[in-house]
Chain A
Amino acid sequence: METTTLIWLIPLPPVLAFFLIVLFTNKSKALSHTIGVGAAALSFIGSMVVFVRALGVEHLGEHPFESAINWLPTGDTWFRIGVLIDPLGAAVLFFVAITIFMIFLYSIGYHNYGQPAGDHDVKGLPPHGATIEEHGHKHVVPSVEPMYSRFFAFLGLFAFGMYTLVVSDNLLTLFVGWEIMGLCSYLLIGFWYGKPSARDAAVKAFMTTRIGDVFMLLGIAFLYSATGTLTFREIFTEETLHRLASTPAWFGMTASGLIALLLFIGTVGKSAQWPLHVWLPDAMEGPTPVSAMIHAATMVSAGVYAVLRMFPLLTADYGEHGLTVTMSIVAFIGAFTALFAATIAVAQNDIKRVLAYSTISQLGYMIAALGIGAYVAAAFHLITHAFFKALLFLGSGSVIHGMEHGVLHTGNHHVDPQDMYNMGGLRKKMPITFWTFLIGGFALSGFPLVTAGFWSKDEILADAFGHGHWAVFITLAIAAFLTAFYTMRQITLTFLGEPRTEEARHAQETPWTMTTPLIVLSFFAVTYGWVGIPEHFPLLGGLVPNWFHEFVGHTLPEVREAPEFNWIPLLTSLVVALGGLALGYFTYRNVKSVSEDKFQIPLLKNKYYFDEAYNFLFVKPAYWFAENVVYKFLDKRVIDGILHAFGPSTQGFGSALRNYVDLPIINRLIGDGSANATYWFGGKLRVIQTGRIQQYLMLALVTFIVIGAALFFFVLA
C-alpha cells in the first residue's frame, strides 16, 4: 500500500471500534475488547510499517510523506487538510502506537476481565469484588468492571484523537485531535462518575484545559489571519517566518512570538504546566490505564508535541542576542514547573499522585528544553519519558490492583490501596511489577548509562549548560535531584522493607495481560536511550550512532549542533541522580509510618495551597458571580422581570382588544349584526313563501305583466 494512504488509514480503526462498540457490541464484553484491542493492533501495525518506511527514506526532513485533500471552500480557494509524517512525526508515531497498544492490552487485566460480576457493583463505581464459593468456603475475588465495554469505546475514541494529532499536517486537524482527546480525558477521568471526587476531577480537568485551548484557538486564528494557511510546511517557509518575525506585535513581541505564545498557552493547559497544572493530579481519579495513557504518555505529551511542531515559529526571531520574550517565558514556565512539581511530589503519599506530579515536572523539563531551543533534546525526552512514565503508571496500577486483592482478602475496606504507607515489601509478592517498576523508576531518576531517562535528561542539561542558560541549568539540576529522591522514596515505601499492613501481606501478582505491557515498556525504557547517545560522550560515544539526533534533528531545515561535550553537566547529572536515589533510599529505608516521614511539610503536602488559592481567587468569585449577579440579579430580576412584564402587558393588551374591538365591533356589529339582519329579512320574506304553487304562478304572472307593460310603455313605445 502507498505509504501516504496507510498514514491516512492509521487513525481509522480506533474510531471505527468506538462506533462499533457503542452502537452494537456494548452488551458483549469479550467482543468489545476484541474489537478495541484489534483496532489498536491494526493502528499499531500500520504505524510500525510507516515508521520502518520512514527510516528507509533519505532526507525525510525535506521530503516527508505527505498528502492533502481539499476540505473547506474558502472563497475561491480551498482549505486543505492532510497527513504528514516527517522525522519528528515518525518518532512520535512510534512511541504513541506502542504505548496505546500496550495500554489497551493492560486494560483487559486491569478491569478484571474473566472475573465474575460483582455482588453489588453498580455502573459508575469501581467494582467492589464478588463472593464465590470454592472448596466449601467463601472468599472474595475481584469483580469485573460493570462498564467494561464503554471503557474500550472511550479508549478507542481517544486513540483516534491522538493518531489524528500526530499525523496531521496542519494546525486545525491537530487541534481537532487535541480537543477529541480533551473530551475523552474528561469522559475517562469521570469514568467512575458515581464518585463525587471523580466527577469534580473530570470537570476540573475539562475547565482548566479549556482555558489553554481558548488561547490556542486564538493563536490559530491569529496565525491564519496573518499567513492564510495552517499547514505546517507552508508556514515554516523561510519567507513566511521572516515576515512574521519582522512584524511587531504587542509587548515587544513579534507576530511570530505572540502566535507561539498563544499556542504555548494551549500547551500549558494540556501539558499541565504551572499555573494550569492543578487538574493533572486530580485526574488520577480515573482508572489507572487512563492515567498512564492520557495523563502520562500521550495526551499531555501532545502539548509538548504541539510546541515541537511550532518550534520554527517559536524561534523565528531568535537571533544572536539571547532568548526572545516568548522563549524566555516558555523556558521560565518549564523550568519553574519542573522544580515546583518535583517539590510537591516529595510529600505525596498516594502512589499515583506522586507520579502525576512527576509527570508535570518532567513535562516542565521538556518545555524548558524547548524554551532554550534544545529541540532534539526535548523530543528525545518526550519519547523516553512517554515510555518510562507509562511504565510507571501501569506499574502503579498493577500495585494498586495487587493491593486491592489484599483488601478483598482481609475485607477491611478502610485501607486505601493507593496509599504508599499501606504498602511495603511488595517486591516478593509482585516480582514482575517490582522489577519493571524499578526500571521505570531508575529511568525517571536518570540512573546513569543504562536507562533511557539518563540520556535524554543529560542531553537537556548539557544543552542548557552548553548554551549558557545558567538559571535553567541549575533549576533543572535541582529538579532532577528531587526527582531521583521522590522516585526512590516511592520505590522504597512500596516495594522494599516489610509489609506495613495485613493487606500488603496478601497482595498478589497481576495477570499476564497486565504484566506483558510492563515488560514491553521496560524494554523500551532502557533501550530507547541508546539511540541517542551523544557522539562525544566518553567511552560510549560513537559506539552506537546518535541516530535520534540525526533523524529527528533533520525535521528542521537547520539542525542546531549538539553542544560540545563538557564534564560539568555530566557530573551534575550523575551526582543528582545517584545522590537523589541514595538519599531517598536511606531516608525511607526504616520509615514505618507516615508520622516518621520528615517531608510531610504542610506547604508541600497541600501543593503550595494552589487548589485553595484558585478556589479563593477564581472558583469562589465565579460561584459568587453566578449566584448573586447572574442568578439573582440578571436572571431573576432582569430576564424574569422582562418575561414577567411581558405576561401582564400582553394580557392587558389582549383584554383591551377583546373589550373594545372584538366584542363590540367584530362580535356584535359584524357577527351578530349580520345574523340578525338576515333573520329579520327572513322573517319578513317568509310570508310570501306560502307553499301554494298557484299563488307563485299568480305572482309570476302579475310580475310578468307589470314588467311586460313597463317594457312596452317605456322601451317599445
Chain B
Amino acid sequence: MVPLSWYLVFAAALFSIGMFGVLSRRNAVAILLGIELMLNSVNINLAAFWRYGDVRLMAGQVFAIIVFAVAAAEVAVGLALVISVYRSRNTVIADEIDLMKW
C-alpha cells in the first residue's frame, strides 16, 4: 500500500500550486481555479487520513463530500460575481476591480 506520507506530500504540492495560482494570477477566474485546487488538496488529505485511520468512522469521507458541495456552491456564486462584474466593468482583472479602494 502506498504510504500515507505520499498522499500528504501530493496534497501539499497541490495546495501550494493552488495557492501560487491564487496569489499570482490577475484573472479572477484563474483565482477561482486556484481556490478549487486548494480545496481539493484538502479533500485528498481528508480521504487519506480516513483510509489510514479507523475505517469505520465516516467523518473524513463525509467531510470531503461537504467540501465538494460547498466548493460547488462557492464556484457558482464566484462565477456569477465574475460575470456580473465583467458586464458592468468590462474586465475580470482583480486589480482593476477597485471601486471600494481609497
A701 near B: Cβ within 8 Å?
Answer: yes
B94 near A: Cβ within 8 Å?
Answer: yes
The interface residues of chain A lying within 8 Å CB-to-CB of B23 are 694, 697-698, 701
The interface residues of chain B lying within 8 Å CB-to-CB of A692 are 94-95
B71 near A: Cβ within 8 Å?
Answer: no
Q: Which residue of A lies closest to B19 (CB)?
A: A701
Q: Which residue of B lies closest to A692 (CB)?
A: B95
B1 near A: Cβ within 8 Å?
Answer: no
B100 near A: Cβ within 8 Å?
Answer: yes
**A689 engages B22 (CB within 8 Å):** no
**Chain A, 688-717, CB within 8 A of any chain B CB:** 689-694, 697-698, 701
Where chain A touches its partner, the secondary structure class is: helix
The interface residues of chain A lying within 8 Å CB-to-CB of B54 are none
CA distance A694 to B24 in the complex (A): 7
Interface size on A, residues (CB 8 A): 10
Q: Which residue of A lies closest to B100 (CB)?
A: A691
**Chain B, 60-102, CB within 8 A of any chain A CB:** 94-95, 98, 100-102
Q: Which residue of B lies closest to A686 (CB)?
A: B102
B20 → A minimal CB distance (Å): 10
**A693 engages B94 (CB within 8 Å):** yes
The interface residues of chain B lying within 8 Å CB-to-CB of A693 are 94
A696 → B minimal CB distance (Å): 10
The interface residues of chain A lying within 8 Å CB-to-CB of B22 are 694, 697
**Chain A, 644-700, CB within 8 A of any chain B CB:** 686, 689-694, 697-698
A152 → B minimal CB distance (Å): 86
**B94 engages A691 (CB within 8 Å):** no
The interface residues of chain A lying within 8 Å CB-to-CB of B101 are 690-691
Q: Which residue of B lies closest to A689 (CB)?
A: B102
CA distance A698 to B22 in the complex (A): 9
The interface residues of chain A lying within 8 Å CB-to-CB of B24 are 694
The interface residues of chain B lying within 8 Å CB-to-CB of A686 are 102
**Chain B, 32-57, CB within 8 A of any chain A CB:** none
The interface residues of chain B lying within 8 Å CB-to-CB of A694 are 22-24, 31, 94
Which of A690, A691, A701 has the most CB atoms of chain B within a 10 A radius of its CB? A691
Which of A689, A690, A694, A698 has the most CB atoms of chain B within a 10 A radius of its CB? A694
Task: Please provide the 9 A-B residue pairs with the shortest distance between their CB atoms, ordered closest to farther.
Answer: A691-B101, A694-B23, A698-B23, A697-B23, A691-B98, A697-B22, A692-B95, A693-B94, A691-B100
What are 20 A-B interface contacts by the 8 Å CB criterion?
A: A686-B102, A689-B102, A690-B101, A691-B98, A691-B100, A691-B101, A691-B102, A692-B94, A692-B95, A693-B94, A694-B22, A694-B23, A694-B24, A694-B31, A694-B94, A697-B19, A697-B22, A697-B23, A698-B23, A701-B23
